[in-house]
Structure 1
Amino acid sequence: MEQTQFSSDFRLGILGGGQLGKMLLYTTRKWDILTYVMDKDDTAPAFQGCDVYFEGDITDYEAVMEFGSQVDVLTIEIENVNVQALEELEKQGIAVSPNARVLNLIKNKAVQKQFYQNYKIPTAPFKVLANPDETEVLEFPFVWKSAEGGYDGKGVKVIRKAEDLKDLPQSQCIYEEMVDFDLELAVIVARNARGEMRTYPVVEMEFHPEANQVEYVLCPARINLDISDRARKLALKVSEAYNHVGLLAVEMFLTKSGELLVNEVAPRPHNSGHYSLEGAVTDQFEQHVRCVCNFPLGSTESTMASVMVNLVGEEGHTGPVVYEGIEDIMTMPGVTPHVYGKKETRPFRKMGHVTVVAQDIIEARKIAEKVKSSIKVVAAE
């Protein structure tokens, strides 16, 4: 009898134990798939639900080799992993998804931008520099991005004058032309090793003006059918260029002239897909497991209009976390909080999210506004 991944000795490994890893476990627990997780933080959220956990640094070659050699399929929940170890594990027959080639093309933003250029994928004009340089500026204002290490709004800064370049990290970076855009959109593409591909509906992202973090994700995006079709086709083109296995979240700008420009991508479950936990037939985390285990893909159709509200630590609050007002939002129809399990809060740290589902996006967005004003992530006094 053929062995399956369900209720068996098959081992799925996840590098990274953050909230994305924790939510991947929603599916592995449901399907009784044996799951290993590695993270250097012994309080990592994903340690709560995996079968076997390892304390180890996912950027360390030896640690990743030791961990990876014990699983059948290895995936990630964050790009900042030791890619050299993944390359060696692939040579040894471990299925790594996304593979080392894809991660090498994505984890460095300068390489990522040059990849778009090479494949004629529309993106904002840019320069790659070894270090920030006052003599190599674009027309002000422009955007500085660190080539490596940027995450959750870090490593990005709008440069309005030459003095703004002072005190930036002296490392490889991008100078990117400011885009005059109407909306920031995203499309998640799912692809398994059989080559099956599906796109989720286009979502619209609203960002916090100071933290440069997503505050709201709206599905469907408030755009017309032509723009939606073009965005999904562009996301498929990007996915085909990378030839990845797993999810690929493709973030893009819709300019005021109606052009779509790819901003950046993430080869894993993504903030822009959190709405799917309550708002889609197959949520993004189940879909990622389907992809990396080479199962048939699930439906990406929405069940209702959905809005995701990010829960981040309030400014001025650092310490043991308290979700002030969480019971109030639980009385609202269609509202579901997801608490990530991080015990300590700090300003703008992602601590959870809330999904809102309703019959139409206008109503869902109104409820999301009430949610945002009703719950605060603060430190215990």
Structure 2
Amino acid sequence: MTTLRTPGPTIGVVGGGQLGRMLAEAASPLGVEVVVLDPTPDCPAAPVVRDQIVADFDDEAGIRELAARADVLTFEIELADQDVLERVSEDSGTPVHPKPSTLRTIHDKLVQKRELEDAGIPVPPFRAVDDADDIRDAIDDYGAPVMLKARTGGYDGRGNVPVESKGDAEEALESVAGPAMVEAFVEFEREVSVIAVKGDDEIATFPLGENIHVDEILRETIVPARSSEAATERAYEVARDVLEVMDGRGVYGIELFQTPDGEILLNEIAPRPHNSGHWTIEGAHSSQFEQHARAVLGWPLGSTELRSPTALANLLADVEENRDAQLRHVDRVLETPGATLHWYGKRQARPGRKMGHVTVSGRDEDAAVEDLLETARELEDAVTFRSQ
């Protein structure tokens, strides 16, 4: 097969889901090509990228092919194999950003928390879990409930299980089905996130977002967050400290708890563009995806300033079992001023699966985020992903 190349660089991405799709959409106007590696044929990113290599995330031969076709490698999913990426990078000379060492830290949530705590980052009390007695001991020390987390593989709330009492410990541990850790439950006023960008010799942060979760799944984000000036500045301080621990260029989604007294505690880190940063496509002068492309290539970063207050609502599949996906009621979004629909191109609707999102941006800098959020919720209710 003849491979066509543009004069610009190519980014090789391990993972071809919605993040890879939106990264390619943002990279194209910069003259940057994107090739993805994903095990699902015709993955969500396929329609907008130069090419897809169909292979598993840890397939060394596939990743070597990706490296041979790219100027830099990155990833949009933590299931990428850090050891394979490291070997391929060393052998091929194709750099990986963020660095595989960062992915190694992030991959295991217990390792992540230990390294961050050692670096002085404020985190909730936590401990490793080997058996149900460890959960019961944590309840004795932290009080109930506690949050049980799978150390690896969890995402979109999967692998996070609240444990309300000692009697629930066995069942909770069985549901995690693998190495686990437990954290003290944080009584927070709000959940917030900093989308931060680590460039070649510069750091940039987007305005603080406020996140609303249901059943541990992110449903909505509003920007700017309804936080005090002091709490907002503290969130930026923690985010900058986190970046000091992370190695390599790129976007980092840094999820935080804000307590009622204004304290900021780290929840989790994603070394890639993050769901809570999707609002930046319409709401900021440059999106998190454009920033990620710039950063991994070592290019100057763009402006992260807010264009206007923005609300985001995720569109989850409204089905009880796996079905072919069908998008409905798009007209409700299209006829709403300031609203934008993003469809991820997923062929199958699964219960609770993120199929797309809607953003609603204000027309001026004084727009009330509460009003924008209400509109986003109405559109979320109107648009559905079902089968006939």
| Normalised-by-shorter TM-score class | over 0.9
Q: For residues 39 and 247 of structure 1, what CA distance do their matches in structure 2 show?
A: 21
Match for residue 184 of structure 1? Answer: 191
1:48-197 equivalence runs, <5 A: 48-92=47-91, 93-133=93-133, 135-138=136-139, 139-165=143-169, 166=171, 167-192=174-199, 194-197=200-203
Q: Which amino acid aligns with 2:58?
A: T
Which of 265, 278, 303 is residue 282 of structure 2 equivalent to?
278
CA-CA distance at 1:170 after TM superposition: 4.3
Residues 75-109 of structure 1 deviation map (CA, whole Å, 9 limit, x = unaligned): 11111111111111232321100111110111110
Q: Which amino acid aligns with 1:278?
A: E
Q: For residues 363 and 229 of structure 1, what CA distance do their matches in structure 2 show?
A: 25
Q: Note if 1:345 corresponds to 2:349.
A: yes
CA-CA distance at 1:369 after TM superposition: 2.3
Q: Note if 1:368 corresponds to 2:383.
A: no
Q: State the secondary structure of the residue aligned to 1:184.
A: strand
Match for residue 42 of structure 1? Answer: 41
Residues 160-209 of structure 1 deviation map (CA, whole Å, 9 limit, x = unaligned): 123423223442211100001000000011111x221011110000011x
Q: Note if 1:307 corresponds to 2:308.
A: no
Contact 2:101 2:247 in 1 (8 A): no
Contact 2:37 2:62 in 1 (8 A): no
Q: For residues 110 and 209 of structure 2, what CA distance do their matches in structure 1 show?
A: 25
Q: Which residues of structure 1 form unaligned runs of 5+?
A: 1-5
Aligned residues: 372
Name the stretch that deviates more: 290-299 or 163-172: 163-172
Match for residue 3 of structure 1? Answer: none
Q: State the secondary structure of the residue aligned to 1:368.
A: helix
Q: For residues 226 and 129 of structure 2, what CA distance do their matches in structure 1 show?
A: 37
Contact 2:197 2:203 in 1 (8 A): yes
Contact 2:147 2:182 in 1 (8 A): yes
Identity percentage of aligned residues: 32
Q: Note if 1:326 corresponds to 2:330.
A: yes
Name the stretch that deviates more: 362-371 or 12-21: 362-371
CA-CA distance at 1:157 after TM superposition: 0.4
Structure with the larger helix share: 2
Q: For residues 75 and 316 of structure 1, what CA distance do their matches in structure 2 show?
A: 35
Contact 1:132 1:173 in 2 (8 A): no
CA-CA distance at 1:250 after TM superposition: 0.7
Q: For residues 90 and 188 of structure 2, what CA distance do their matches in structure 1 show?
A: 44
Q: State the secondary structure of the residue aligned to 2:352.
A: coil
Give the TM-score normalised by structure 1: 0.94
Q: Which amino acid aligns with 1:43?
A: D
Name the stretch that deviates more: 307-316 or 287-296: 307-316
Contact 1:181 1:256 in 2 (8 A): yes
Q: For residues 319 and 271 of structure 1, what CA distance do their matches in structure 2 show?
A: 24
Q: State the secondary structure of the residue aligned to 2:24.
A: helix
Name the stretch that deviates more: 234-243 or 159-168: 159-168
Give the TM-score normalised by structure 2: 0.92
Q: For residues 243 and 36 of structure 1, what CA distance do their matches in structure 2 show?
A: 23
CA-CA distance at 1:377 after TM superposition: 2.1
The verdict on how the C-alpha distance between 1:66 and 1:132 changes in structure 2, with shifts beyond 3 A counting, is farther
Contact 1:146 1:155 in 2 (8 A): yes
Contact 1:12 1:71 in 2 (8 A): yes
Contact 1:130 1:171 in 2 (8 A): no
Name the stretch that deviates more: 147-156 or 314-323: 314-323
What is the root-mean-square deviation in Å for CA atoms of aligned residues?
1.6
Residues 256-301 of structure 1 deviation map (CA, whole Å, 9 limit, x = unaligned): 2221000000011100110011000001100000000111000000
